[in-house]
Structure 1
Amino acid sequence: MESERQILRATLDAQLDPQVVLEAVRDDHDLIADFVVVEVNPAACEALDITRADVVGKRVLSLGPQIRHSEQWELLLRVVQDRQPLILNEQPLQPLRGGRTRRFDLRAVPVHDGLSVTWRDVTQRHQAAADLAASEARYRLLLEESSDMVSFHVPGGAVEWISPAVQRVLGWPPEEIAGTVLDLVHRDDAPAIQAAQQRLLAGEESAGARFRMRTRDRGWRWLEATARGVRDEAGRVTSLVVFSHDIQEQMDFERALSQSEERYRLLAENATDVVYRTSLDGTTEWVSEGVQKVLGFTPDEFVGRNGRDLVSPEDREFVDRATAEVLSGERSSARLRMPTKDGGTRWIETTIHPVHDDDGRTVGFVGGWRDVQAEVEAEQELDSRARTDELTGLANRREVIAQLTRLLAPGNPRRGHLAVAFCDLDGFKAVNDARGHAVGDALLQAVAVRVRDCVRAGDTVARVGGDEILLVLDGVPDLAAATRVAEKVRETLGVPVMIAGDAVPVTVSIGVTMADIHDDVDGLIARADRAMYQAKQAGRNRVVAAT
């Protein structure tokens, strides 16, 4: 019996999730009147902020009398009575020692005349899902207010959602477009759209096309679209985001160009985009008035200057490539940064077309700019949000996993000089319970700043759990050097944090390890995590190095 109890203790101690084993206490009528705590693992002690001696041998209702009147109590009784496991997800529960209600995933299975209960605190996940829903609502509002048409498509082409701008541009209410395939596209232009879609599916980041779409009054209108693929973790395209811009006026202008220079000027000056013409060597010959609205320069300040010199230096190679494509007979477009008159830069999307003389020789270029600053900022915000922890500004779990995957790739020469340190704040739950989540959040933000200051610019600091931080130290010579960095972090965090005039104490337990040639991401993190738990069990506020 004692050996079985030792095996049970060892099994419980190895579990990362909190676990409690309860035995039924029955009355004279053989009904369950209470449960007595038989065993509790270290993870449960940490989660409940108790010691094993506080609860083992005690009755559950003496520890928390309010439990008797809860729905969960009745469910636990049924686990023993019906001999069926219980699974509850995101259950709101009040901690035994008070504090705010939190969300838990709870599992209970019958064991002899009792049960084993495990749980996981998913409050952060629940809140993150709520925050994401709110963020998506704000982003959809932004898309709905855009002057361009924005649409989401399945890879086969069917429209999942389209912004209200479709009614202004084409006359169709959004509900008459959503759910249909793009059979409103002019049949002569369908191959261009299909080719763009194939390029996205083949791995290109974005693809564009010009095409005509049927309007509700049975006419046609020219659009220019840029599509980007939304990919899953395996890199497969799961949906397409398409930004479509009305270029009817620009197309009218291009047709008019072959008939009359004066008609060309009139159309260009009244277009919403910037239209320009250059000589064969790139010297600006004419630019529409819209340039002043977009960049702040007057047309006269542009005329006579070479278009390549007007682009930000880091994007000039795109101008050279676009010019070469046009001269070879291809249509070209690109996103570029252009300097503004006030000293800033602005993202524009430009298209370039050749101008031919009567003999068919290229004598210059004509094109248009479209201001895409808001579109680029929205994409950058989405990208940043996908890689960053919103509370602390640190990298999130997804980003640090991606970085470690690259660093641990076979053949990477830096693989042998890579260390990770798994940091877990000591007693953070007690701070949350005693001082409130606002103080807890402020503490995490201060900790993030301090940890970043302890590492080099090329190292990564990521928040991977509620109070868990992972350091990726790239280029350290050995485990001793990595341990010194971890000790620096521990000592820095040992100084209390001043929050709203109060000194909030904080310490950290850290496990640190070096990568070897056999490690994958999960194995490397797990080894550091085990070392961190050894630091906890050894008394907290210390660093344990694992080989």
Structure 2
Amino acid sequence: MSQQPAGPEGPDAAHHAVDAGSVDLVRLSMQQSAVATVLLAPDGQLLRMNQAACQLFGLPMERLRMMTWQELAHPDDLAGEQANVDRVLSGGTDSYRSTARYVRGDGEVVHGDVTVTGIRDSSGRAMTLIAQIIDITEQRLARAEARAAQEQLRGVIDAMLDPWVLLNAVRDDEGRITDFVYVDANAAACRENGTTREELLGSRLLSLAPGQLRAGLFTQYAAVVESGTPLALDDDPSPSDLPEGGMHWFDNRAVRVGDGISVTWREVTERVEQRRTLARQALQDPLTGLANRQKLMDSLAESFSHTPRTGGRIAVMFCDLDDLKLINDHYGHHAGDVVLRAVADRMASAVRDEDLVARVGGDEFVVLATGVRDQAAAVRIAEKIGAAVSRPVSVLGGVIVPILSIGVTVADAGADPHEVLRSADRELYAKKTARGRT
């Protein structure tokens, strides 16, 4: 409730009077100050105020002189400010400083940095109070907006599925980076490290992830800090720091932030393994597991492009499994598949690790052998393959003895691989014709 105006000019002037020197000093400081300044009676009545105070509260001077500071205070701050004022009035303190909110004449809330000082008479009793209020509304709103933005950013970061950490460089006396310390992390990074955010922050990178040192990733992180060049690694292999060990693959991104880095990563082990499986399947015969025609042609082109490391020549053997159609017709295609797989396994076991065995058709196989001395040596390899294949195979209660017809051609590096393959095919056809098995 508003009180009757009172002040040095009012009927209660004697009650609120202070010595003339103090009043003159207060008046002069109020007039010259750009800070909102108000002279208050002990009961809260506004006695005098400068123009800055009128602007702060959004009310004319005549209106303010009819009010108490309690009417201007924000309801939520009133009790606290009243307690502070009472301490000054009781002599508990000469002044206090606080932050408080006030309600302007237009209903807007302003935030103030408030300093209140008691002006006392010769007996030490506080006769009046002088309040100076600095408008900090914009600063408070800016801080509130900054906090809201930080909370929003934290929410976005913690909602990320990919782990993210902020690391600061740890340097030795000579300025070299010896480690990194965690200064921030999102929820995904904490889960991946098996720890809470509070436990993770302040920890050292190499103590939690020594595998990153072994993988050279630490060195690359340090280079990002020193050079400022961002790091972008795709399908980067890294040994696991987990007890079960093994190799994992990651996409990794790092950018410099101050004397540290912002890092995010994504494990792509499953993607890499799937891609490798698909690549392998693209070059592999699905029934036998041998190389397919595409793999054979790639290997032929590679082999004939240069002389074998061990010297010698290059042998190509075109092989045909006799009577596969009869096996399929008599026992069924399942039995034929059993025989094909057995033949493939035996052929692969009969050659050297560096040789290639490929299935290029239903009953056709090709063997590529490098570093072969001559035609006779190639023929001996073919005979070894034929002998390995011709062991009996049990199928559906019956026994089948596979027979492999083989055409052999030997050529030197630089030859046309397609022509060499056709030559081996012609040799095969000639042998089958001679045996009457075309």
Match of 2:237 in 1: 337
Q: Deviation digits for residues 101-152 of structure 1, max 9, x if unmatched?
A: xxxxxxxxxxxxxxxxxxxxxxxxxxxxxxxxxxxxxxxxxxxxxxxxxxxx
- The alpha-carbon deviation at position 323 of structure 1 amounts to 5.0
CA distance in 2, matches of 1:503, 1:295: 59
What does 1:247-326 align with in structure 2 at a 5 Å threshold?
267-280=156-169, 281=177, 282-285=179-182, 287-291=185-189, 303-306=203-206, 309-311=210-212, 313=214, 316-317=215-216, 320-321=219-220, 323-324=222-223
Fraction of identical pairs, as percent: 32
Contact 1:397 1:462 survives alignment (8 Å)? yes
CA contact (8 A) 1:322 1:333 kept: no
Retained in 2: the 8 A contact 1:295–1:346? no
Partner-residue secondary structure (3-state), 1:393: coil
Contact 1:459–1:472 (CA<8 Å) still a contact in 2?
Answer: yes
1:510/1:532 contact within 8 Å kept? yes
Q: Which residue identity is paired with 1:345?
A: M
How far 1:514 moved relative to its partner? 1.5
CA deviation after TM superposition for structure 1 residue 330, in Å: 2.7
Retained in 2: the 8 A contact 1:495–1:506? yes
**Secondary structure of 1:471's partner?**
strand
CA gap of 1:284–1:470, structure 2 versus 1, over 3 A, is farther
Distance 1:304 1:325, change over 3 A: closer
Equivalent AA in structure 1 for residue 314 of structure 2: L
Distance 1:540 1:494, change over 3 A: farther
Per the alignment, do residues 349 and 502 of structure 1 end up closer, same or farther by CA in structure 2, a change over 3 Å counting? Answer: same
Q: Shift in Å at residue 448 of structure 1? A: 1.0
| Structure 1, unpaired ranges of 5+ | 1-255, 357-362, 542-547
Structure 1 residues 509 and 301: alpha-carbon distance in aligned structure 2, compared to 1, 3 A threshold: farther
Tell me: CA distance 1:434–1:521, structure 2 relative to 1, closer, same or farther (3 Å).
same
* Contact 1:509-1:535 at 8 Å conserved across structures: yes
- 2:330 and 2:353 map into 1 onto residues whose CA distance is 35
The number of aligned residues is: 276
For residues 301 and 499 of structure 1, do their structure 2 counterparts lie closer, same or farther at Cα, with a shift above 3 Å needed?
A: farther
SS of the residue 2:338 aligns to: helix
TM-score normalised according to structure 1 size: 0.45
Shift of 1:297: 7.5
CA distance in 1, matches of 2:382, 2:156: 65
Which residue matches 1:130?
none
Higher relative contact order (Cα pairs below 8 Å, separated by 6+ residues):
2
User: What is the correspondence of 1:55-66 to structure 2 with a 5 Å cutoff?
Assistant: none
**In the alignment, what sits opposite 1:351?**
253
Q: Using the TM superposition, give the Cα deviation of residue 336 of structure 1 relative to its aligned residue in structure 2, in angstroms.
A: 2.1
Structure 1 residues 524 and 416: CA distance shift in structure 2, 3 A: farther
Aligned AA (1:354) = R
1:367 is matched with 263
What secondary structure is seen at the aligned counterpart in 2 of 1:367? strand
**How does the TM-score come out when normalised to structure 2?**
0.56
Following superposition, the deviation at residue 374 of structure 1 comes to 3.0
Cα gap change, 1:445 to 1:425, in 2 (>3 Å) = same
- Which residue does the alignment assign to 1:207? none
* Counterpart Cα distance in 2 of 1:492 and 1:295: 54
Tell me how far 1:344 sits from its aligned partner: 3.4
- The CA distance in 2 between the partners of 1:410 and 1:371, in whole Å, is 39
Change (3 A) 1:425 1:295: farther
Letter in 2 for 1:351: R
Question: In structure 1, how many angstroms separate the alpha carbons of the residues matched to 2:403 and 2:340?
Answer: 12
1:283 aligned counterpart, secondary structure: strand
Aligned residue in 1 for 2:31: none
Out of 265, 270, 288, which is 1:392 matched to? Answer: 288
Letter of the aligned partner of 2:303 in structure 1? Answer: L
C-alpha distance in structure 2 between counterparts of 1:294 and 1:496, whole Å = 55
State how 1:24-423 maps to structure 2 within 5 Å.
267-280=156-169, 281=177, 282-285=179-182, 287-291=185-189, 303-306=203-206, 309-311=210-212, 313=214, 316-317=215-216, 320-321=219-220, 323-324=222-223, 327-334=226-233, 335-338=235-238, 339=240, 341=242, 342-356=244-258, 363-410=259-306, 416-423=312-319
Distance 1:412 1:508, change over 3 A: closer
Q: CA deviation at 1:416?
A: 4.2
Query: Does residue 1:445 correspond to 2:344, yes or no?
Result: no
RMSD of the TM alignment (CA)?
A: 3.2
Distance of 1:391 and 1:345 partners within structure 2: 29
Determine the C-alpha separation between the residues in 2 that align with 1:312 and 1:530. 58
Aligned amino acid, residue 496 of structure 1? P
CA contact under 8 A between 1:415 and 1:517: conserved in structure 2? no
Cα distance change, pair 491–373 in 1 and its aligned pair in 2 (3 A): same
In structure 2, the partner of 1:488 is 384
Tell me which amino acid in the other structure corresponds to 1:486.
Answer: A
Structure 2 residue aligned with 1:532, among 415, 418, 428? 428
Decide whether aligned partners of structure 1 residues 518 and 479 sit closer, same or farther in structure 2, where only a CA change above 3 A counts: same
Q: Distance in 2 between matches of 1:515 and 1:323?
A: 53
Deviations 1:48-105 (A, max 9, x none): xxxxxxxxxxxxxxxxxxxxxxxxxxxxxxxxxxxxxxxxxxxxxxxxxxxxxxxxxx
Match of 1:514 in 2: 410
Aligned AA for 2:180?
T
Where structure 2 has 5 or more consecutive residues not aligned to the other structure, the ranges are 1-145, 170-176
